[in-house]
């Protein structure tokens, strides 16, 4: 492990951060600790939102089930 | 910061990110840098795909809600009695005397098992109280008679005079003041003229020569067996009468098959009463209805 691994991690963190809508330019200027925290925070927020969306989907499915599946009345 | 410290910071960060994404610590610690990066990127991609799908679903749901909420708003119904008088057959050689607030319509059988009532055979000016119908327009009448199946005519009186009596099953009032009857007894009564338009009933026209019906209890209208709390099944639908009176109809094939293979009771062709109004089963097993209860939001779904 050495500089190459460090570069590989940094490159991956920036790519993940980009997927999470962080700005590449801003990330490129961050020191390692800042970059890691920024990506972690962005991922955390994304996963929170994902959890909400999953819960809403489950509720929507339950409501549809309650209404009688995929066809209710005419 | 030394290279070692930098590497340690990144590595800890990546492991934490991997854990957040659902990878195990053991997995992550066993991986080389390249493997860890690849695993995290792959898991991240899966999460992002799912995220995109859920967000798209949410957008669609919000758009549907928006369309739903901007639709007609419901208000409690304020009327409610109807008298129905059946005229066996209309032909152009007879005159028909309409009583107070009576309107005249013709009943049609449809291939899908529904029956509809159409008052359009009567000129607009004739659709009012105490109007004598002197020979309906002959050519139009003949055409209507040709497509109807000897069900005859209904004379329907609508009494708008009463005090508000609350909600009647299957009926509501839209923002324009029209009284909308949903489900198989569906239709619209104009509050100004009392005209009843586009009424549908599974079997509502078999009323005998003279009937008085209370719209507050439309189930008295329709003959047929009563469905108690149970699961009922046809080759194409699953009808459930719930303990709380709700009636749900599903066409989910797996559920129908499951019910079919269980002890669910068969629902025969014809009209059956439920706590929410009539359901009609046609020859193929398709189920129409039931009526949604008045004032419930999903009455809008049954509006024609």
At B37-82, the pLDDT tens digits run 899 989 888 888 888 888 888 887 777 666 655 544 433 222 223 3
**Which of residues A5 and B207 earns the better pLDDT score?**
A5
Contact call for residues A20 and A35 (beta carbons, < 8 A): no
Claim to verify: residue B194 and residue B277 sit in the same structural domain? no
Asked whether residue B5 carries a pLDDT value surpassing 70, the answer given is yes
| A interface residues, B as partner, C-beta within 8 Å | 1-3, 5-6, 8-10, 12-13, 15-16, 19, 31-33, 35-37, 39-40, 43-44, 46-47, 49-50, 53-54, 56-57, 60, 66-74
Query: Does B302 contact A71 at a Cβ distance shorter than 8 Å?
Result: no
Claim to verify: residue B254 and residue B278 sit in the same structural domain? yes
Our CA-based measurement puts residue B262 at a distance from the nearest CA of chain A, in whole angstroms, of 19
Round to whole Å and give the CA distance between B85 and B250. Answer: 36
Of A36, A44, A47, the CB nearest to B13: A36
Query: Does B7 contact A73 at a Cβ distance shorter than 8 Å?
Result: no
Count of residues for chain B?
304
Question: Within 10 Å of residue A63's Cβ, how many Cβ atoms?
Answer: 9
Query: Does A32 contact B10 at a Cβ distance shorter than 8 Å?
Result: yes
Average pLDDT rounded to a whole number, residues A28-43: 91
Query: Does A9 contact B20 at a Cβ distance shorter than 8 Å?
Result: no
Q: Is A19 helix (H, G, I), strand (E, B) or coil?
A: helix
ipTM above 0.85, yes or no: no
Our CA-based measurement puts residue B61 at a distance from the nearest CA of chain A, in whole angstroms, of 9
Claim to verify: residue B111 and residue B214 sit in the same structural domain? yes
What is the distance, to the nearest Å, from the Cα of residue B162 to the centroid of all Cα atoms in its chain?
Answer: 28
- Residue A42 in any domain: the answer is yes
Claim to verify: residue B229 and residue B146 sit in the same structural domain? no
Query: Does A73 contact B37 at a Cβ distance shorter than 8 Å?
Result: no
Which of B289, B204, B202 lies closest to B239, judged by CA?
Answer: B289
Contact call for residues B160 and B101 (beta carbons, < 8 A): yes
Chain B residue with minimum CA distance to A5:
B33
Q: Is B257 on the interface with A (CB under 8 A)?
A: no
- Residue A73 in any domain: the answer is no
Q: Which domain holds residue B62?
A: 3-69
Contact call for residues B194 and B103 (beta carbons, < 8 A): yes
To 5 degrees, how large is the angle CA B70–CA B61–CA A65?
A: 110
Claim to verify: residue B213 and residue B240 sit in the same structural domain? no
Contact call for residues B280 and B203 (beta carbons, < 8 A): yes
pTM score, whole prediction: 0.38
Our CA-based measurement puts residue A24 at a distance from the nearest CA of chain B, in whole angstroms, of 17
Contact call for residues A13 and B18 (beta carbons, < 8 A): no
pLDDT at A26: 92
Q: What is the DSSP string of A32-67?
A: HHHHHHHHHHHHHHHHHHHHHHHHHHHHHHHHHHHH
Claim to verify: residue B38 and residue B10 sit in the same structural domain? yes
| Residues of chain B with C-beta less than 8 angstroms from the C-beta of A66 | 248
Q: Which domain holds residue A15?
A: 3-67
Chain B 126-165, residues with CB within 8 Å of chain A CB atoms: none
pLDDT at B138: 36
Least confident stretch, B182-191, B226-235, B261-270, B293-302: B293-302
- Residue A74 in any domain: the answer is no
Strand order in the sheet with B270-274: B225-226, B270-274, B277-281, B287-288
Q: What element of type H or E holds B290?
A: none
Q: Is B301 helix (H, G, I), strand (E, B) or coil?
A: helix
Domain boundary among B220, B252, B273: B220
* B300 contacts: CB under 8 Å, gap ≥ 6: B68, B71, B72, B74
Domains in chain B, number = 3
- Residue B76 in any domain: the answer is no
What is the distance, to the nearest Å, from the Cα of residue B167 to the centroid of all Cα atoms in its chain?
Answer: 17
**Which of residues B103 and A19 earns the better pLDDT score?**
A19
Claim to verify: residue B216 and residue B230 sit in the same structural domain? no
Asked whether residue B34 carries a pLDDT value surpassing 60, the answer given is yes
- Residue B16 in any domain: the answer is yes
| Residues of chain B with C-beta less than 8 angstroms from the C-beta of A9 | 7, 10-11, 13-14, 33, 37
Q: Is B183 on the interface with A (CB under 8 A)?
A: yes
Claim to verify: residue B167 and residue B248 sit in the same structural domain? no
Crossing angle for the helix pair A32-67 and B33-69, to the nearest 10 degrees: 40
Claim to verify: residue B103 and residue B165 sit in the same structural domain? yes
Domains in chain A, number = 1
Average pLDDT rounded to a whole number, residues B131-155: 34
Claim to verify: residue B127 and residue B55 sit in the same structural domain? no
Chain B residue with minimum CA distance to A41:
B17
- Residue B74 in any domain: the answer is no
Claim to verify: residue B130 and residue B213 sit in the same structural domain? yes
What is the number of helices (H) and of strands (E) in chain B?
6, 20
Query: Does A36 contact B292 at a Cβ distance shorter than 8 Å?
Result: no
Round to whole Å and give the CA distance between B288 and A74. Answer: 6
Contact call for residues B292 and B186 (beta carbons, < 8 A): no
Chain A, chain B: beta-carbon pairs less than 8 Å apart = 123
Claim to verify: residue B256 and residue B135 sit in the same structural domain? no
């Amino acid at each position: 492990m050495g500089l190459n691994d460090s570069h590989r991690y940094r490159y991956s963190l920036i790519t993940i951060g980009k997927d999470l809508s962080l700005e590449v330019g801003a990330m490129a200027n961050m020191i390692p600790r800042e970059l890691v925290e920024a990506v972690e925070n962005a991922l955390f927020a994304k996963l929170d939102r994902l959890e909400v969306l999953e819960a809403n989907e489950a509720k929507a499915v339950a409501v549809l089930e309650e209404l009688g599946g995929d066809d209710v009345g005419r | 910061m030394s290279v070692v410290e930098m590497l340690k910071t990144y590595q800890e960060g990546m492991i934490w990110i991997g854990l957040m994404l659902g990878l195990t610590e053991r997995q992550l610690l066993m991986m080389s840098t390249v493997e860890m990066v690849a695993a995290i990127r792959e898991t991240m991609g899966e999460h992002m795909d799912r995220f995109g799908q859920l967000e798209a679903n949410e957008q669609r749901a919000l758009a549907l809600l928006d369309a739903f909420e901007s639709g007609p708003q419901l208000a409690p119904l304020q009327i409610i009695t109807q008298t129905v008088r059946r005229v066996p057959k209309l032909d152009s050689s007879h005159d028909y005397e309409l009583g107070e607030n009576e309107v005249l319509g013709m009943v049609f059988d449809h291939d899908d098992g529904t029956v509809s009532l159409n008052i359009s055979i009567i000129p607009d000016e004739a659709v009012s109280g105490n109007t004598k119908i002197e020979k309906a327009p002959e050519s139009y009448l003949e055409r209507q008679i040709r497509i109807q199946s000897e069900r005859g005519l209904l004379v329907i009186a609508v009494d708008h005079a009463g005090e508000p009596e609350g909600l009647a099953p299957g009926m509501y009032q839209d923002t324009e003041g029209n009284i909308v009857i949903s489900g198989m007894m569906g239709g619209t009564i104009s509050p100004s003229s009392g005209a009843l338009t586009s009424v549908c009933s599974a079997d509502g026209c078999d009323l005998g020569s003279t009937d008085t019906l209370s719209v507050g209890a439309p189930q008295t209208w329709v003959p047929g067996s009563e469905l108690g709390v149970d699961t009922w099944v046809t080759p194409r639908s699953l009808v459930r009468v719930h303990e709380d009176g709700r009636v749900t109809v599903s066409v989910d094939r797996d559920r129908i098959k499951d019910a079919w293979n269980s002890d669910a009771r068969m629902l025969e062709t014809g009209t059956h009463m439920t706590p929410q109004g009539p359901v009609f089963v046609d020859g193929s097993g398709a189920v129409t209805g039931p009526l949604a209860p008045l004032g419930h939001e999903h009455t809008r779904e049954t509006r024609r």
